[in-house]
């Protein structure tokens, strides 16, 4: 674990797991490495890298505002992906690229350090810190949706209903789909996802303390991830259909 050198005994990680399905990338790289599919894979990886960087930077900034400068001291309050890659090179570079090449989907992870004593003293601030990551993903999704709708209405972008999407539409479409997926997945109230901490917004201080004792005192990461993946298959489809219909009028 790469922990903050100023407080090595106190720094825990605010982690996030990211995954996109093959149906999202709509590509099968191993059978046919065509230039078009290579370009599509590059677009999705850049969208993943930028979105992940924004997600973790939002965690770090929210913690800094709330009084915990652990991630700030580690360089995580930055839209420069380098500090985040240095912290999680396997989760942000190696595994995402390999999974994209082999399976046509992106799987990755990232993390930001935080002070667990600060979390216990200020559980609601910790909850806001956890919520900041998914909120950033939804913000990026909405920006992409507005750009797409504006581009289509003004004729600046090729409408996929009437023709093949152009490069700009593909980029914005990737940002829309990926950030909708990332924001929704990480909001699931299952450890170690952000939603498992964000739910403390709805708890009193005493109950939050007991909840943290249970949450941090047990290792539910692997079991939680398996449960989250299973649950996500059921909850994401209607959310995606709703967002696509009302934000993009079913263009994707």
Residues belonging to the active site: 56
User: For residues 109 and 198, is the Cβ–Cβ distance under 8 A?
Assistant: no
State how far the Cα of 97 lies from the Cα of 107, in Å rounded to an integer.
9
- For the chain, the residue count is 252
Alpha helices in the chain, H assignment, sequence order: 22-25, 35-66, 70-73, 81-87, 89, 95-103, 116-121, 123-154, 167-186, 195-198, 205-216, 221-248
| Residue found under tokens 């490069």 | 167
37: helix, coil or strand? helix
Q: Report the DSSP pairing between strands 107-114 and 12-19.
A: antiparallel
Assigned token pair, 142:
């909405």
User: For residues 190 and 224, is the Cβ–Cβ distance under 8 A?
Assistant: yes
Q: Nearest 5°: phi and psi at 237?
A: -55, -50
Contacts 24+ apart (CB under 8 A), 151-154: 152/251
Residues 6+ apart with CB under 8 A from 163: none
């Amino acid at each position: 674990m790469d922990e903050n050198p100023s407080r090595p005994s106190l720094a825990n990680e605010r982690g996030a797991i990211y995954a996109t399905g093959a149906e999202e990338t709509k590509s099968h790289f191993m059978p046919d490495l065509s230039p078009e599919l290579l370009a599509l894979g590059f677009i999705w990886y850049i969208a993943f890298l930028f979105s992940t960087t924004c997600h973790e930077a939002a965690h770090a900034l929210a913690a800094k505002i709330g009084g915990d400068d652990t991630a700030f001291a580690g360089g995580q309050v930055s839209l420069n992906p380098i500090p985040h890659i240095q912290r999680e090179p396997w989760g942000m570079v190696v595994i995402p690229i390999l999974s994209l090449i082999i399976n046509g989907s992106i799987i990755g992870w990232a993390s930001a350090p935080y002070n667990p004593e600060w979390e216990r003293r200020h559980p609601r601030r910790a909850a806001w810190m956890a919520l900041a990551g998914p909120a950033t993903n939804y913000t990026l999704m909405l920006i992409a949706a507005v750009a797409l709708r504006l581009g289509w209405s003004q004729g600046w972008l090729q409408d996929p209903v009437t023709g093949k999407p152009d490069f700009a539409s593909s980029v914005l479409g990737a940002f829309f789909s990926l950030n909708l997926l990332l924001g929704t997945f990480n909001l699931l109230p299952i450890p170690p996802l952000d939603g498992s901490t964000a739910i403390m917004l709805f708890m009193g201080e005493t109950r939050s303390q007991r909840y943290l004792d249970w949450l941090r005192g047990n290792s539910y990461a692997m079991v939680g991830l398996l449960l989250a993946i299973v649950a996500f298959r059921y909850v994401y489809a209607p959310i995606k259909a709703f967002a696509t219909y009302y934000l993009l009028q079913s263009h994707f």
